[in-house]
C-alpha cells in the first residue's frame, strides 16, 4: 500500500493519486470507527479475516474498487452536507490550539526567567 502510494505521488498521472487518496480517506475513517468498536468487533468469529478482505477490496485496482464505492456513495455526500460545520470546528480547534501554544510558551518563558533569577540570587 505504501509503495503504491509513493509510486502514485511520483507518477505524472494524477488519476492514481486520486485513487490512493480516496483509499487513505476510507482507511482513516475505518480506523477511527474500528478504534472505538474494536473491543466488540474482536469477539466476532473471523473478524480479522473479514477486515483483511475489506481492506483488500478497498485497495483493489479494479472497477469495483471498494474505496471508490464507499467514498462516492457514503463519505462524500455526508462530507458535502456537513462541510461548513466541519470547517468551523477545524477553525475553532486550530484557534484554541494556537492560543494554548501561546499560553504555554509565555508560561515557559516566565518559569525560565524566574528560575534564572533565583539561580543568580543563590550564587
Note the pLDDT of residue 49. Answer: 94
Note the pLDDT of residue 58. Answer: 94
Q: What is the DSSP letter of 122?
A: H
Note the pLDDT of residue 122. Answer: 65
Q: How many domains does the chain have?
A: 1
Note the pLDDT of residue 21. Answer: 87
Rounded Cα gap, residues 105 and 123, in angstroms: 27
Q: Is the pTM above the cut of 0.85?
A: no
Rounded Cα gap, residues 72 and 65, in angstroms: 11
Q: Any idea which residue has 481492506 for its cell?
A: 55
Note the pLDDT of residue 17. Answer: 80
H helices of the chain, in order, are 2-10, 15-41, 47-59, 66-70, 76-122
Identify the burial level of 64 via C-beta atoms within 10 angstroms of its C-beta, where 0-12 means exposed, 13-18 middle and 19 or more buried: exposed
- What parts of the chain have a pLDDT lower than 70? 1-7, 9, 119-123
Q: Which domain holds residue 80?
A: 2-122
Amino acid at each position: 500500500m505504501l509503495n503504491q502510494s509513493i509510486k502514485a505521488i511520483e507518477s505524472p498521472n494524477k488519476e492514481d493519486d486520486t485513487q490512493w487518496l480516496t483509499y487513505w480517506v476510507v482507511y482513516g475513517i475505518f480506523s477511527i470507527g474500528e478504534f472505538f468498536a474494536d473491543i466488540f468487533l474482536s469477539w466476532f468469529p473471523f473478524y480479522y479475516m473479514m477486515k483483511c478482505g475489506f481492506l483488500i477490496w478497498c485497495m483493489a485496482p479494479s472497477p469495483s474498487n471498494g474505496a471508490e464505492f464507499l467514498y462516492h456513495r457514503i463519505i462524500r455526500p455526508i462530507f458535502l452536507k456537513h462541510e461548513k460545520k466541519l470547517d468551523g470546528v477545524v477553525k475553532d480547534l486550530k484557534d484554541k490550539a494556537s492560543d494554548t501554544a501561546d499560553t504555554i510558551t509565555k508560561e515557559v518563558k516566565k518559569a525560565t526567567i524566574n528560575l534564572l533569577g533565583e539561580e543568580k540570587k543563590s550564587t
